[in-house]
Structure 1
């Protein structure tokens, strides 16, 4: 399917690996020029080179922490008039809510709520002036379904969801859409790290831990960054202009709901 994105510019946050990279790759395949981002400069450079070699687009790497004003300034300096913004950021580490102090909670809210709002504030006026804009926020299945130890991440991402529920409707008339992608158990480094911890704590083999976890998913497998990215690219396409304010689960049916 032709997505109508050739020649457009996209900022994809936290895109040197994992789901962010999946989104960057799918957008590049659709013809988007990219500003990609990560804190590991070496990994980011490798990703930029690989994408540049695979697709005939411009890829600009910006090594920065997107949660900082300096990081945001660097991203917007590299692409002051993006057509697409994919908000993504690492979440707080898994921790029992009783262990969270004030500073940890503030940092979590900055990472997963305030940062994407600030970037949206920066890019939406230009999108409105040009009559086209696509914003996709990578949140989490935990917005809909509690996951033990991820209370801070869940709360901050749910706050972002509620904040943007009104904003997306205010800007829809100018050709700007805002949607959220909610990943479930995706086969990424973050998931692998969780399995490694569980294997170490329980004495089970890593293969056994993975098999048990996958068996709980109706699809009987974990999601991939590639299929996640293709869904993101569709939401950014010319075909998705009538989709806004939606929370799209990508969880293989894990969340049990009829609506």
Structure 2
């Protein structure tokens, strides 16, 4: 399927690895010029080289913390008029709510609530002027259901979802869509870290922990960054202009609900 994205410009935050990288690969495959972002310069350059060699598009890499003003300014300097913004950022580490002090609370809110809003504020005027814009926010299954130790991440991402529910409807008449992708258990480094932690706590092997968690998912497997990225690319396509304000779960059926 031709997604109608050839020549479009995309900023993908936190895209040197994991789900962000999956989104960058899919958008590059669709013909978008890409601005990557990450904090590890070595990994970031490896991803930039990979995409540049695989696809006939422009690929820039900005090593920066997107949660800072300086990081945001660097991204926007590399791509002042993006057609696509994929908001993504690392979440706060797993921690019981009783252990969170004010500094930790504020950092989590800045990472997963304030930062995407600031970037949306920066890119929307140009999108409205051009009559085309796609904003995809990578949030989490935890917006829908609690995950132990991720209360801060869940709260910040749920707040972003509620904040943008009205904003997206203001932008819809201008050809600008805003949607959220909610990953469940995806086969990424973050999930593998969880396996290691669970194995240490339970005394079981990592393989046993992995198998047990996969068995809890109706699809009987974990999601891949590749399929996640392709879903993101479709939401950014010309075919998805009538989809906005939606929370799209990618969890293999793990969340048990009819609606």
CA distance in 2, matches of 1:162, 1:200: 37
CA distance in 2, matches of 1:212, 1:75: 40
Aligned match of 1:86: 86
* Aligned partner of residue 252 in structure 1, secondary structure: coil
Is residue 197 of structure 1 aligned with residue 197 of structure 2? Answer: yes
Aligned match of 1:114: 114
Q: Which runs of 5+ in 2 are unaligned?
A: none
Is residue 247 of structure 1 aligned with residue 211 of structure 2? Answer: no
Query: 1:182-217 deviations in whole A, cap 9, x for unaligned?
Result: 000000000000001111121101100000000000
Aligned match of 1:221: 221
Higher mean C-alpha deviation, range 193-202 or range 15-24: 193-202
Aligned match of 1:26: 26
Aligned match of 1:171: 171
Query: 1:211-238 deviations in whole A, cap 9, x for unaligned?
Result: 0000000000000000000000000000
Q: Which runs of 5+ in 1 are unaligned?
A: none
Residue pairs, 1:1-259, within 5 angstroms = 1-259=1-259
CA distance in 2, matches of 1:91, 1:135: 19
* Aligned partner of residue 179 in structure 1, secondary structure: strand
CA distance in 2, matches of 1:197, 1:126: 44
State the superposition RMSD in angstroms: 0.3
Q: Tell me how far 1:93 sits from its aligned partner.
A: 0.2
CA distance in 1, matches of 2:197, 2:171: 43
Could you tell me the TM-score, scaled by structure 1's length? 1.00
CA distance in 1, matches of 2:9, 2:75: 12
Q: Tell me how far 1:100 sits from its aligned partner.
A: 0.2
Moved over 6 A (4+): none
Could you tell me the TM-score, scaled by structure 2's length? 1.00
CA distance in 2, matches of 1:240, 1:48: 27
